[in-house]
Structure 1
């Protein structure tokens, strides 16, 4: 019994990623650089990934 997977490349560190099925708009973390990535498109088992800018909170300290 095999599980379908999708492939993509981290746009920051160029690590090859293999992930379980995801849909457009989902986010995931690159295991190499820990960058948060958003799935922009899924076609033919290939993911198009985009970096997500993380907004740090300013707690006024």
Structure 2
């Protein structure tokens, strides 16, 4: 039994990523730079990833 994986590249640090099957719109973290990435497209086993802007909470300090 084979396990399907998908491949992509982090748009920030250019690390090659191999992940289990994911769907468009899901998020994952780059293991190298820890950036949160959103899956924009899945085509022919390749992922197109986009950086997700993280809003930091203003604690008023």
For normalisation by structure 2, the TM-score amounts to: 0.97
RMSD over equivalenced CA pairs, Å: 0.5
Structure 1 segment 18-29 matched on structure 2, within 5 A: 18-29=18-29
Separation in 1 of the partners of 2:5 and 2:42? 11
Which runs of 5 or more structure 2 residues have no equivalent in the other structure?
none
Matching residue of 1:31: 31
Matching residue of 1:40: 40
Matching residue of 1:5: 5
Separation in 2 of the partners of 1:41 and 1:4? 16
For normalisation by structure 1, the TM-score amounts to: 0.97
Count of aligned pairs = 61
Which runs of 5 or more structure 1 residues have no equivalent in the other structure?
none
- Runs of 4+ aligned structure 1 residues displaced above 6 Å come to none
